[in-house]
Amino acid sequence: MIQHRIPRSRTGPSRRAFLATAGAGALLAGAPAIARAQAPTLKIGVLLPRSGFFAQAGQGCHRGALIAPAVLNEMGYRFELVHVDTESSVDIARTQAERLINEGANVLVGAFDSAQSIAIAQVTEQRGVPYVVNVAAAPQLTEQGYRFIFRNFPRSIDLVTNGLALIKTLLTATNASPQRAVFIHANDTFGQANRGAMDRLFPGANMPFQLVENIAYDPRAQDLNAEVARIRAARADLVLVTTRAGDAIKMIREMVRQRYEPMGIVSPGSPGMYDQEFYDSLGRFSEFCISNVPWYNPRARMAQPFERAFRAQFPNDKFEFHAFNAGFTLEAILIAADAFKRAGSAAPQAMVQALRATDMADHIMVGGPIKFDEKGQNNNIGSACVQNRNLNPTVVLPSEAATMPPVFPMPGWQQRG
C-alpha cells in the first residue's frame, strides 16, 4: 500500500520553522520577565502625608516630589514617580507601602513623620525593597538593624547638637556674649524630645553662657503671658526656643507687650519661626529671630535648578517657606535615582549596594557629601543659621552657605522700621 507523503510545507511549518517560531515565542514570552528584572526605568513610590495632621508639611514635601522630574531629568536621571497620600495615618502608610510594592515600585520615599516611616520600614524590610527617608528624626529608625532603609535626615539628637554648635559659631562671628539663657519649649512630642536632647547635650556643650531655666508650656494655651514673665524674671538675655508657628507667634507678641528685649531668640533645631504664618502675623517683629535647622544651601550648584523649577511650577507659593520639606524630598528622590543610575538595575540588591556606595558631593541641602553608614544613616547633614531678614528666612551661617551676615544682638522691638 502506497502512502502518499504530503509535503510538509503544505500541512504546516517545518520542524525547523516550528523551532524557530517557538524560540521566538519563548523569547517574547520571557521578555516581560527579563524586562521586569532589569527594570529599565526606576519606579519610585512617594508616600507623604498630604492630608490630615501633617498636611501642611506633607504638601511642602509633595511640591519637592512634583518638581523632581523637571530638576533631575535634565541631569540625566530617569525615573517614574507614583504619589500616595498617607493621610498622616500609620495604617494607611503601611498598607499603601504594600500596594506600591505590589504594583512594582522599586524604591519607596517618604514619609515626613517617624511613626509612618517606621510603619513603611517594616514593610520594605520584609519585602526587600529599598526605602529612602526624606524627613523623620526618631533615632530608632536607623537603630533597629534594618537592611533596606536609608535616611537622609538628621536624628533628633543631631538637630540639637548642630543647633547648639551653630549658636557658638554665631556668638563668635558677632562677638556677642550673652550671660544667661532660658530654654522654653512646647510640651508636645517634638518639644519634649528636644528638651531631652538639651538635657543630655547642654552640660557637655561648653556653651559660653549659663542655662538658668527650662520652661515647658502647653502649645494650646491661649497666651504665654506667664511664661514670658518667667523668662523676664530669670533675667535671660538669650532665649532658646522649641516651638511651632502658632505658639511662637503668641510668645513674640507677649515679649513685645511686656517690653522684654532679649539679645536674641534662637531655636536650636525646631520649626515655627521660619513658617509663613510667623511672618504674616508678626511682620517686623518676626525679624532677626534665628532658627538653627537643616536647610537648603542657597549657594550650592543644585540649589539653582531647584529654586527655578519650584518658582516655575508653583508661582503662587513662596519658595523659601517650602524649601526645607521640598528640598529634603527632592534630595531623597535624587539619592534613589542616582543609585539606580550607578547600579544600572532596579533589582533590590543592586539598588541597596548602590545606595550604600552613595557618595554625592553635589546636592541641595547644607552639609557634607551624602554618604550612608552601615545603619543607613547619613551623618553629614548640617544645619544652617537661618535668620529672618526682610521677611524671608535667610542663611547667615555657615559662611560657605550664607547670603547675608548675621545680626546679633537683634535690634529692639521699637527700633525696627
Binding site residues, another protein, CB under 8 A = 50-51, 55, 58-59, 83-85, 87, 90-92, 94-96, 98-99, 101-102, 114-115, 118-119, 121-123, 125-127, 138, 140, 144-146, 156, 187-193, 196
To another protein, the closest distance from the beta carbon of 96 in angstroms equals 7
Give 359 or 374: the residue with its C-beta nearer to another protein.
374
Cα dihedral 326/329/333/335 (nearest 10)? 110
- Residue 145's SS3 state is coil
Q: Are 360 and 369 in contact (CB under 8 A)?
A: yes
To another protein, the closest distance from the beta carbon of 162 in angstroms equals 18
To another protein, the closest distance from the beta carbon of 49 in angstroms equals 9
Give 98 or 277: the residue with its C-beta nearer to another protein.
98
To another protein, the closest distance from the beta carbon of 320 in angstroms equals 22
To another protein, the closest distance from the beta carbon of 67 in angstroms equals 17
Give 9 or 102: the residue with its C-beta nearer to another protein.
102
Length of the chain: 417
Q: Are 39 and 346 in contact (CB under 8 A)?
A: yes
To another protein, the closest distance from the beta carbon of 227 in angstroms equals 17
Which strands form 180-186's sheet, in the order they lie side by side? 210-217, 180-186, 238-242, 264-267, 290-293, 384-389, 392-397
Cα distance between residue 318 and residue 337, in whole Å: 27
Give 51 or 353: the residue with its C-beta nearer to another protein.
51
Give 77 or 131: the residue with its C-beta nearer to another protein.
131
Give 178 or 376: the residue with its C-beta nearer to another protein.
376
Contacts of residue 149, defined as CB under 8 A and 6 or more positions apart, other chains included, come to 121, 124, 125, 130, 131, 133, 141, 142, 376
DSSP assignment letter at 370: B
Closest CA to 59 of 48, 71, 75, 74: 48
Give 220 or 235: the residue with its C-beta nearer to another protein.
220
Q: Are 408 and 175 in contact (CB under 8 A)?
A: no
Give 89 or 297: the residue with its C-beta nearer to another protein.
89
- By CB neighbour count within 10 A (0-12 exposed, 13-18 middle, 19+ buried), where does 90 fall? middle
Give 43 or 94: the residue with its C-beta nearer to another protein.
94
Cα distance between residue 260 and residue 380, in whole Å: 38
To another protein, the closest distance from the beta carbon of 286 in angstroms equals 27
Contacts of residue 7, defined as CB under 8 A and 6 or more positions apart, other chains included, come to none
To another protein, the closest distance from the beta carbon of 118 in angstroms equals 5
Give 123 or 339: the residue with its C-beta nearer to another protein.
123
- Residue 342's SS3 state is helix
Residue bearing cell 538635657: 199
Q: How many CB atoms lie within 10 A of CB 124?
A: 25
Cα distance between residue 25 and residue 411, in whole Å: 78
To another protein, the closest distance from the beta carbon of 414 in angstroms equals 37
Residue 212, all three cell numbers = 538658668
CA distances from 288 to 43, 121, 282, 406 (A): 43, 39, 12, 9
To another protein, the closest distance from the beta carbon of 126 in angstroms equals 5
Q: Are 231 and 215 in contact (CB under 8 A)?
A: yes
